[in-house]
Amino acid sequence: MISSSDFRNGITIEKDGQVLEIIEFQHVKPGKGAAFVRTKLKDVVNGGVTETTFRPTEKFPQARIDRKEYQYLYKDGDLWTFMDTENYEQLSLGADIIGDNMKFVKENEMVKVQSYNGNVFAIEPPMFVELAITETEPGFKGNTATGATKPAIVETGAQVNVPLFVDNGEVIKIDTRTGEYLSRA
């Protein structure tokens, strides 16, 4: 059990049958009245965010989210297949769980599979990936003072905006959380 006065960012709790992750919290002690804890909670299963206040004495069971590394093997139709590298068991997941999380991940890369009580609810790709550009318009010199960008298609099929000087075949580094170009690899 965890008391609401012990809340920290990243802690997961169980409340009313939901698994909630604390995104933000603030201990508030008004001049008049009792203290309370103002929180922003994210439902880890469906992604919804709510703001809630708690009394400091309220207690909740702490939820244990398992994050295990799996190797991404292949996509077959609407199923993505992953392998546990320790015991070689395979796991196939549908688009409802994957969402957009795999658009920057190549085959044979490692991802984290998140589960609660044995039920997989999300895939966490690596924070940064290096991908080759397969298609983009040729760059041109000049007019780069404003940091102009152009669209490019990477080897996984995803589209990224890159600076004008980046050409076909170059390997670039991408932040998977935002989908932004970071640098040449």
Give just the sign of the alpha carbon dihedral 163, 167, 172, 175: positive
Domain CATH for 10: 2.30.30.30
Which pLDDT band, with edges at 50, 70 and 90, does 71 fall under? very high
Structure tokens at 26: 């603030």
With 60 as the cut, is the pLDDT of residue 48 above it? yes
Token pair 């404003």 is found at 146
Range of the domain at 72: 66-124
Residue 146, pLDDT score: 67
Residue burial 44-82, b: 16+ Cβ < 10 Å; e: rest? beeeeeeeeebebeeebeebeeeeeebbbeeeeeeebbb
Residue 55, pLDDT score: 87
Regarding whether 135 and 111 lie in a shared domain, the answer is no
Q: How many CB atoms lie within 10 A of CB 147?
A: 7
Bridge partners for 119 per DSSP:
116
With 80 as the cut, is the pLDDT of residue 78 above it? yes
Mean pLDDT of 22-51: 85
Q: What is the pTM of this model?
A: 0.69
Which pLDDT band, with edges at 50, 70 and 90, does 83 fall under? very high
Total structural domains within the chain = 3
Which pLDDT band, with edges at 50, 70 and 90, does 4 fall under? confident
Residue 139, pLDDT score: 66
Q: Angle 105-43-47 (CA atoms, 0-180°, nearest 5)?
A: 40
Domain CATH for 75: 2.40.50.140
Regarding whether 13 and 42 lie in a shared domain, the answer is yes
Which pLDDT band, with edges at 50, 70 and 90, does 142 fall under? low
HEC readout, 116-167: ECCEEEEEECCCEEEEEEEEECCCCCCCCCCCCEEEEEECCCCEEEEECCCC
Q: pLDDT digit string (tens) for 114-130?
A: 888 878 878 888 889 89
With 60 as the cut, is the pLDDT of residue 144 above it? no
- Rg of the chain over Cα atoms, rounded to whole angstroms, equals 21
Mean pLDDT of 58-68: 86
With 70 as the cut, is the pLDDT of residue 140 above it? no
